[in-house]
Every structure is written in C-alpha cells, then in structure tokens.
C-alpha cells in the first residue's frame, strides 16, 4: 500500500518510520530539496499547489494524509476528488482557521478563552472593548509555534499590535492565567473505533514546545476525552487529532487543535504500547487500533536550534534519541529525546 503525505518534515519522517513494519510505502510532496522525510520515501519536490506534482502524487498513491494544516484547500480538494484523503478536508478547513476552530469548540460546549474577530483596526478596537486587556492577538491562519501572535497589555498602542501581526484577519483572545497546559491525542478509524492517549503536560517557551510529560491517571483525563470525542464525532474525523488545553482549576479551555500527529505525542514512540504515528496509519487504513496504554513514565524534550553533545543522552539509561536530519537553525526543531 502506498501512502502519500503532503509535507516532508519530521512528522512525515516519523510516519514513514512507523509505517514500514506494516508493509507500507510512502511518497511525500514537499517543496524543500532537503526535506527530512525524503531519505525514507519517494520525494516529489514541488509546491503544495503545483498541479503536476499533485497529479503525480495521486497517480502513485492509494491514500493521502498530511503532516501540517496549512496545505492549500484547493490542493486537498483536487486530491479528494480522486482518492481518499484523511483526516477529512473539512476538518483541515476548520483547524487551519482559529476563528472556525474556536467557534466549533463553543458550539460543542467546549470552553475556550473569550475571543472576538478583528479584521481591521476598528474591529480590533471593538474586540478590545469586548474582551478587555491583557489579551493576545493571533492571525486566524498560518500561525504556529507562537508566530503571528502579539500580546496587548493595557496602554499598548493598538495600531502597532495590528501592524506587528501583518494587518491580516485575526482573533483577539483573553490572556488566560492557566495552571498548566495539557494536550490530548486521540485517534478515530474509518469505521469509527476511537482511542485516547493519556494527557500530556506541556511546557512552551516563546510559543515553542520544550517539554511534554505523559500524565498517569490525571483527574482531567475524562473531561479531555469527552471534549475530543465531541470533535471527532462532529467532524466524522479519521486519523490522529490533538487538542491543546489551558487548565484552570477543574476547567479545560481548548486553545487549538491539530488535525495530524502532534509534537506533544512524540513520547508515545517508546512510552506507549502503540505510537501515535502507527495509530494514525492504522486509523486511515481502517485497521484495528493499537493500545494507547503507557508502558512507563515518559517525558519528551525537544532539541531546538543547535545540537548538543548527543553522547550525554545516549549515555542515559532509558533515554531515546531522535534526530530528524535537519540543519541546525535558531528556533528550529531538529530532534527530540524521550
């Protein structure tokens, strides 16, 4: 079976690593020549909306998935016309737009921080009056790892904040004084079988995930599962879905969802019976899902920017090193250790 992946970064690489033991083969469509999934797959080097590249991908593969949510909607629709694309394109359309995803959460009874749309300076002013300050202005689309965000505090100049995010459609969100950030990774197969991993507690610095710790028997697990189940069912979702929450007391406020395998689930490679990567592939192929039970206490640290002396990790009992084959660059995720 040949699986096509839109995007050829570390998530595609880890999907391929999980897929080969299942007898699967991979082709990635990715514009970068040095895509880190390329050594493990056939690489179509083309833009995500390149018609010829998409045709080649559709001709070579039997099933399409993706490793990031900012793929152009037209490209996905083109592929969806001729073969199965999972997660469903409608889920992608919701998850790529912060306004759509937060509106969906609220419709499903899932709490979020208060938010309001801002599409110019005047609506930003209205949003500030509604939400109050401090607040955080976020571009509706294309934001990740804290990019496209600007905190606004009382007395700050709204025009500079609006300019800082590039004067594009945005939402203003109340700044949440959370106790912890947690995420749940869930998976649903074509036939509707569902499974949930234990919550991970996540620590971000400058908007980038640094540390994820798998939580055992956390008291918020049932609420997180209930919330993510509502989303899976509403979107008739297939594949792995991650939802990130702010925890405040007994409340979980949904911040965002990712319609794909997620950085806060990398610990599952060694820390769970079945990794999120293998379960994503099982789900889209409509195979029975593997157990999501943790096999031990596990935590994952991202390696960001530059590569430390890896002998330190390799000399640690029970530590597992994953390098993505990416050139070091400030702020770039180049590997992780579980």
> Which residues in this chain contact ligand AMP in the complex, by CB under 6 A?
113, 136, 143, 146, 173, 175-176, 181, 204, 207, 244, 255-256
Q: How far is CA 78 from CA 14, 235, 237, 239, in A?
A: 26, 20, 19, 20
CA 23/CA 201 separation, integer angstroms: 33
Neighbours of 234 (CB within 10 A): 14
CA 209/CA 174 separation, integer angstroms: 21
Q: Which residues contact 313 (CB under 8 A, 6 or more apart)?
A: 319, 321, 337
CB of 212 to ligand AMP, least distance (A): 12
State the helix-helix crossing angle for 51-60 and 73-82, rounded to 10 degrees: 40
CB of 319 to ligand AMP, least distance (A): 25
CB closer to ligand AMP, 30 vs 181: 181
CB of 205 to ligand AMP, least distance (A): 9
CB closer to ligand AMP, 19 vs 259: 259
CB of 224 to ligand AMP, least distance (A): 16
Three-point CA angle 221, 238, 197, nearest 5°: 25
Q: Which residues contact 46 (CB under 8 A, 6 or more apart)?
A: 29, 31, 52, 53, 54, 56
CB closer to ligand AMP, 176 vs 211: 176
CB closer to ligand AMP, 143 vs 335: 143
Q: Which residues pair with 139 in a beta bridge?
A: 170
Residue 169 tokens read as 């459609």
Continuous H helices in the chain: 10-19, 51-60, 73-82, 89-95, 98-107, 121-131, 158-164, 221-234, 268-271, 276-284, 311-314
CB closer to ligand AMP, 57 vs 253: 253
Minimal CB distance residue for ligand AMP: 176
CA 99/CA 297 separation, integer angstroms: 36
CB of 130 to ligand AMP, least distance (A): 14
Phi/psi at 152 (5° precision): -115, 125
CB of 144 to ligand AMP, least distance (A): 6
Phi/psi at 157 (5° precision): -80, 120
CB closer to ligand AMP, 181 vs 278: 181
CB closer to ligand AMP, 141 vs 221: 141
CB closer to ligand AMP, 83 vs 175: 175
Phi/psi at 276 (5° precision): -60, -30
CB of 206 to ligand AMP, least distance (A): 9
CB of 266 to ligand AMP, least distance (A): 16
């Amino acid at each position: 079976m040949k699986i096509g992946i839109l995007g050829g970064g570390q998530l595609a690489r880890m999907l391929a690593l999980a897929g080969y033991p299942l007898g699967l083969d991979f082709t990635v469509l990715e514009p970068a020549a040095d895509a880190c999934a390329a050594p493990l797959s056939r690489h179509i080097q083309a833009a995500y909306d390149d018609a010829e590249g998409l045709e080649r991908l559709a001709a070579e593969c039997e099933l399409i998935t993706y490793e990031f949510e900012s793929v152009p909607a037209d490209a996905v629709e083109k592929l969806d016309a001729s073969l199965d694309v999972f997660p469903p394109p409608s889920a992608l359309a919701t998850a790529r737009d912060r306004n759509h995803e937060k509106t969906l959460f609220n419709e499903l009874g899932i709490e979020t921080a208060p938010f309001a749309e801002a599409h110019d300076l005047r609506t930003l002013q209205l949003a500030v009056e509604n939400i109050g300050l401090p607040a955080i202005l976020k571009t509706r689309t294309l934001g990740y790892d804290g990019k496209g965000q600007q905190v606004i505090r009382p007395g700050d100049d709204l025009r500079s904040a609006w300019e800082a995010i590039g004067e594009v459609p945005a939402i203003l969100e109340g700044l949440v004084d959370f106790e912890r950030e947690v995420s749940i990774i869930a998976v649903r197969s074509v036939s509707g079988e569902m499974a949930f991993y234990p919550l991970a507690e996540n620590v971000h610095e400058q908007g980038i995930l640094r540390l994820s710790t798998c939580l055992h028997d956390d008291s918020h697990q049932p609420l997180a599962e209930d919330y993510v189940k509502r989303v899976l069912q509403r979107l008739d979702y297939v594949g792995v879905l991650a939802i990130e929450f702010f925890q405040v007391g007994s409340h979980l406020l949904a911040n965002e969802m990712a319609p794909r395998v997620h950085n806060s689930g990398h610990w599952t490679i060694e820390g769970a019976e079945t990794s999120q990567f293998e379960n994503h592939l099982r789900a889209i192929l409509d195979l029975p899902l593997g157990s999501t039970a943790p096999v031990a206490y596990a935590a994952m640290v991202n390696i960001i920017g530059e590569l430390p002396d890896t002998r330190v990790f390799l000399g640690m009992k029970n530590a597992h090193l994953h390098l993505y084959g990416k050139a070091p660059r400030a702020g770039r995720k180049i590997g992780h250790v579980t």
